[in-house]
A and B are shown apart, each in its own frame.
Chain A
Amino acid sequence: MSDADPLKFSCPVPTGEPDRILLGHGSGGRLSRRLLETVFLAGLGNPILARLEDQATLEVNGLRLAFTTDSFVVKPLFFPGGDIGSLAVHGTVNDLAVGGAQPLALSAAFVIEEGFPRNDLVRVVASMRRAAAAVAVPVVPGDTKVVERGAADGLFVNTSGLGLVREGTDLSAARARPGDAVLVSGTIGDHGIAVLAARDELGFGADVTSDSAPLHGLASALLERCPDARCLRDPTRGGLASTLHEIADSSGVTVELDEEAIPIRPPVEAACELYGLDPLYVANEGKLVAIVPGERAEAALAALRAHPLGRDAARIGRVVPRAEVPVVLRTRLGTTRVVEMLAGEQLPRIC
């Protein structure tokens, strides 16, 4: 009747490590991590870079300076709750903020595709100006390059930031210890779903706006009440899951999450259900993850909740000694499951 035979299989051998850069290399998950380790750390490695924090801390004449850079390639350029200009300011301010640093100055570099509408560029720059003014940080040096049509997708923006690290703080992904509490400053997945909806590739109009926001004030409020916080991170691409993986790996611990405690907006949860996306992996642009000593958790949570950007803050889990895997989740049914690091891009399901 057929040539089906349980002892005969038909699966091809893959070609091994990809010899070209794939989109998944930029997803913030496992592929990104491997590229970072095998290409960038291998090529540019030094003790500061090897710490893999969101910012480098430099000691200069007794001052601790934080230095960071980030490129923004979001599509579409304008989305509900923000645009590439404000995002570029917030993203860099946030990378400084999670190092416990007050931003001092930003740089901005633009790569513009030939034919890009001038008005859109004016809008982006105006938005950058507003975002920088709200943070009271000047954009000092800048750079502009125009590339041939087809060589870039409209507009890419790079921002770098310099900040002064708050005295008495020592924040690092390597400092999480068993007994610590895991906090998040609000609902997760808003930015990723807002951008997806604005792109309309999925053909749904989720009523979600991006959470893009500068986090330095929120981070300050937290550090004021909880100066012995171990680690702050903003869970951007790769989402909450990837951020917690980085922390667990750097500290050699396991993070246990409580599914029911993780705040998610209903429309974000609905959009994720509909398309088979896991909100734990969806990007955020205005959220803090904080690891604080267990006994300081309530004070830290109160500090977050007292700030407008932290109203929905929640204690979502705990740090335990390293178990078999870095991140586990207690489901709402009381069972447990592993939270894996994302292998590539997260993709909508078929049926």
Chain B
Amino acid sequence: MKYVAEYRDAGLARAVARRIAARCTRPWTVMEICGGQTHTILRYGLDQLLPPSLSLVHGPGCPVCVTPVDTLDAAMALARRPGVILTTFGDMLRVPGSRGNLYGARAEGGDVRVVASPLEAVALARRRPDRNVVFLAVGFETTAPATALAVLRARELGLDNFFLLVGHVLVPPAIRLLLSSPANRVQGFIAPGHVCTVAGYRDYERLAEDFGVPFVVGGFEPLDLMQALAMLVELLEEGRAEVRNEYRRSARRDGNRRAKELVAEVFEVCDRRWRGIGAIPRSGLRLRPRWEKFDAARRFEVDPGDAAEEAECRSAEVLQGLRRPTECPAFGTRCTPEHPLGAPMVSGEGACAAYYRYRAGGA
């Protein structure tokens, strides 16, 4: 495929792997933050090309994985309400809430529809003035601009039947929390290329400075990740806590100005619970007061009930890079993609699902 084949060249990948091996003089533990990067690593078996001294752990960058249980429970409660059409991205349908998932809510008669973008949900609201259309908006800095655009579009169209259930979260505060933990063992990071394309990487420069760890902004193709790892090993070996950008064809230091303006127009930063991790200060986005009429939680006064929580799933540790998916006692036995205990096994971007899909017994 044009523009992609060159990023999957086997010869080049092996050459970079040799460079990494030659440069690694001691063990390093590094984290790729984004779930999309985790999947590339496992799908192409990149870790099989790396020296054993370079240990990869997987980060919290899966929007489905970190969406809190109470948000899912609220979505299910809304889906079951007469007159409501609940829309969201496909991946969200299988994530377990306290009592079942959105597929179950749909099988029980709830009107749940998969959309590819929030603008599709706006279009649906326009076509169906007789129904209230709620969009369950999840994702990181990457998906927030499209959600903001949907709100502006709904206002432009004068719709009073379009609402958001907002679960947007921000990456840097989660990485700050992780680095603040005494249990942290991550020494360097591959920063998420798509997030940096939108938001830039100044926040990672602050993290590098505050915690003395290097970051490399990385893309999603196999060679992107190999090259980013080579750059990261270089920084680690030289003891430099800096941010470098491997994903220059897309990410800029200041990100995408227009996208950031859109988000700032519609959303403000708030504290937010992350599934499996807990509350992280200033890590979420919520609608600004002047856009409150679009807030589904306010309009429908949803009571999701008590979010049930349980201790068998070790996804919190997986999401924080403290444990590999295969180190969870339930992995591949009581927890599988069709019977997931935790969201990282559900989501297309979840680390547990990646190990399950691409590894024999997850080994």
Partners in one complex: yes
Specify which chain A residues have a CB less than 8 angstroms from the CB of B106 in the assembled complex. 23
Task: Using known A-B contacts A12-B96, A348-B90, determine if residue A6 contacts B181 with beta carbons closer than 8 Å.
Answer: yes
B45 on interface, CB distance cutoff 8 Å: yes
Chain A nearest CB from B1 CB (Å) reads 5
Mark out the residues of chain A between 1 and 53 whose CB falls within 8 Å of any chain B CB in the assembled complex.
Answer: 1-6, 8-18, 20-24, 30-31
Are B63 and A351 in contact, CB atoms less than 8 angstroms apart? yes
Whole-angstrom CA separation of A233 from B112 in the bound complex? 35
Task: Using known A-B contacts A11-B310, A266-B1, determine if residue A6 contacts B316 with beta carbons closer than 8 Å.
Answer: yes
Are A12 and B322 in contact, CB atoms less than 8 angstroms apart? no
B98 on interface, CB distance cutoff 8 Å: yes
Query: Of the candidates A2, A202, A331, which one forms a contact with B44 in the assembled complex, judged by CB atoms under 8 Å apart?
Result: A331
Specify which chain B residues have a CB less than 8 angstroms from the CB of A24 in the assembled complex. 94, 103, 338
Query: Per-residue CB proximity of B261-302 to A under 8 Å, as 1/0?
Result: 000000000000011111111000000000000000000000
Specify which chain B residues have a CB less than 8 angstroms from the CB of A17 in the assembled complex. 339
Are B278 and A8 in contact, CB atoms less than 8 angstroms apart? yes
Task: Using known A-B contacts A12-B97, A338-B358, determine if residue A350 contacts B143 with beta carbons closer than 8 Å.
Answer: yes
Listed stretches B114-122, B148-156, B206-214, B235-243; interface member: B114-122
Are A10 and B45 in contact, CB atoms less than 8 angstroms apart? no
Query: Of the candidates B45, B69, B359, which one forms a contact with A12 in the assembled complex, judged by CB atoms under 8 Å apart?
Result: B69
Specify which chain A residues have a CB less than 8 angstroms from the CB of B216 in the assembled complex. none
Chain B nearest CB from A275 CB (Å) reads 8
**Interface size bracket, A side:** 35 or more
Specify which chain A residues have a CB less than 8 angstroms from the CB of B320 in the assembled complex. 6
Specify which chain B residues have a CB less than 8 angstroms from the CB of A13 in the assembled complex. 96, 308, 310, 312, 341
Are A336 and B356 in contact, CB atoms less than 8 angstroms apart? no
Query: Of the candidates A9, A203, A266, which one forms a contact with B117 in the assembled complex, judged by CB atoms under 8 Å apart?
Result: A203
Specify which chain A residues have a CB less than 8 angstroms from the CB of B310 in the assembled complex. 9, 11-13
A349 on interface, CB distance cutoff 8 Å: yes
Whole-angstrom CA separation of A350 from B103 in the bound complex? 17
Query: Of the candidates A2, A9, A337, which one forms a contact with B45 in the assembled complex, judged by CB atoms under 8 Å apart?
Result: A337
Are A333 and B63 in contact, CB atoms less than 8 angstroms apart? no
Mark out the residues of chain B between 327 and 363 whose CB falls within 8 Å of any chain A CB in the assembled complex.
Answer: 336-343, 348-349, 356-361
Are A348 and B89 in contact, CB atoms less than 8 angstroms apart? yes
Are B1 and A333 in contact, CB atoms less than 8 angstroms apart? no
Specify which chain A residues have a CB less than 8 angstroms from the CB of B276 in the assembled complex. 9-11
Are B222 and A340 in contact, CB atoms less than 8 angstroms apart? no
Are A31 and B313 in contact, CB atoms less than 8 angstroms apart? no
Mark out the residues of chain B between 72 and 105 whose CB falls within 8 Å of any chain A CB in the assembled complex.
Answer: 89-91, 93-94, 96-101, 103-104
When C-beta atoms are compared, the residue in chain B nearest to A34 turns out to be B338
Query: Of the candidates A2, A11, A201, A348, which one forms a contact with B341 in the assembled complex, judged by CB atoms under 8 Å apart?
Result: A11
Mark out the residues of chain A between 315 and 346 whose CB falls within 8 Å of any chain B CB in the assembled complex.
Answer: 323-325, 328, 331-338, 340, 343-345
A270 on interface, CB distance cutoff 8 Å: yes
Query: Of the candidates A2, A8, A31, which one forms a contact with B177 in the assembled complex, judged by CB atoms under 8 Å apart?
Result: A2
Query: Of the candidates A10, A15, A340, A348, which one forms a contact with B278 in the assembled complex, judged by CB atoms under 8 Å apart?
Result: A10
Are A11 and B89 in contact, CB atoms less than 8 angstroms apart? no
Chain A nearest CB from B201 CB (Å) reads 17
Specify which chain B residues have a CB less than 8 angstroms from the CB of A8 in the assembled complex. 278, 316
B194 on interface, CB distance cutoff 8 Å: yes
When C-beta atoms are compared, the residue in chain B nearest to A20 turns out to be B107
Listed stretches B2-10, B126-134, B244-252; interface member: B2-10
Whole-angstrom CA separation of A241 from B124 in the bound complex? 34
Whole-angstrom CA separation of A143 from B137 in the bound complex? 46
Specify which chain A residues have a CB less than 8 angstroms from the CB of B42 in the assembled complex. 337
Query: Per-residue CB proximity of A80-106 to B under 8 Å, as 1/0?
Result: 000000000000000000000000000
Whole-angstrom CA separation of A137 from B279 in the bound complex? 66
Whole-angstrom CA separation of A13 from B99 in the bound complex? 8
Chain A nearest CB from B306 CB (Å) reads 11
Query: Of the candidates A6, A20, A269, which one forms a contact with B317 in the assembled complex, judged by CB atoms under 8 Å apart?
Result: A6
Task: Using known A-B contacts A12-B96, A350-B91, determine if residue A324 contacts B361 with beta carbons closer than 8 Å.
Answer: yes
B189 on interface, CB distance cutoff 8 Å: no
Specify which chain B residues have a CB less than 8 angstroms from the CB of A11 in the assembled complex. 69, 96, 275-276, 309-310, 312-313, 315-316, 341-343
Specify which chain A residues have a CB less than 8 angstroms from the CB of B93 in the assembled complex. 347
Task: Using known A-B contacts A6-B322, A337-B358, determine if residue A12 contacts B309 with beta carbons closer than 8 Å.
Answer: yes
Specify which chain A residues have a CB less than 8 angstroms from the CB of B116 in the assembled complex. 201-203, 275, 348
A276 on interface, CB distance cutoff 8 Å: yes
Specify which chain A residues have a CB less than 8 angstroms from the CB of B341 in the assembled complex. 11, 13-14
Are A337 and B43 in contact, CB atoms less than 8 angstroms apart? yes
Specify which chain A residues have a CB less than 8 angstroms from the CB of B1 in the assembled complex. 266, 269-270, 273
Task: Using known A-B contacts A6-B322, A12-B308, A24-B103, determine if residue A344 contacts B96 with beta carbons closer than 8 Å.
Answer: no
Whole-angstrom CA separation of A5 from B279 in the bound complex? 10
Are A14 and B10 in contact, CB atoms less than 8 angstroms apart? no
Task: Using known A-B contacts A4-B278, A343-B338, A350-B349, determine if residue A9 contacts B313 with beta carbons closer than 8 Å.
Answer: yes
Mark out the residues of chain B between 136 and 151 whose CB falls within 8 Å of any chain A CB in the assembled complex.
Answer: 138-140, 142-143
Are B278 and A351 in contact, CB atoms less than 8 angstroms apart? no
Specify which chain B residues have a CB less than 8 angstroms from the CB of A343 in the assembled complex. 336-338
Are A18 and B104 in contact, CB atoms less than 8 angstroms apart? yes
Task: Using known A-B contacts A269-B1, A338-B360, A347-B93, determine if residue A333 contacts B8 with beta carbons closer than 8 Å.
Answer: yes
Are A351 and B279 in contact, CB atoms less than 8 angstroms apart? no
Are B313 and A351 in contact, CB atoms less than 8 angstroms apart? no
Task: Using known A-B contacts A6-B183, A10-B309, A338-B360, determine if residue A350 contacts B45 with beta carbons closer than 8 Å.
Answer: no
Task: Using known A-B contacts A6-B317, A31-B338, determine if residue A23 contacts B222 with beta carbons closer than 8 Å.
Answer: no
New A-B pairs, 11, CB < 8 Å, besides A9-B309, A14-B100, A337-B43: A2-B280, A8-B278, A9-B310, A9-B314, A10-B278, A10-B309, A21-B107, A201-B120, A332-B44, A345-B90, A349-B349
13 A-B pairs whose Cβ atoms sit less than 8 Å apart in the complex: A9-B310, A10-B276, A11-B315, A11-B316, A21-B107, A22-B103, A201-B115, A331-B44, A333-B8, A348-B114, A349-B349, A350-B64, A350-B349
Q: Which 4 A-B pairs have the closest CB atoms?
A: A335-B45, A347-B90, A11-B313, A343-B337
Chain B residues packing against A (C-beta within 8 Å): 1-2, 4, 8, 10, 13-14, 36, 42-46, 48-49, 63-64, 68-69, 89-91, 93-94, 96-101, 103-104, 106-108, 114-117, 120, 138-140, 142-143, 177, 180-181, 183, 194, 222, 274-281, 307-317, 320, 322, 336-343, 348-349, 356-361
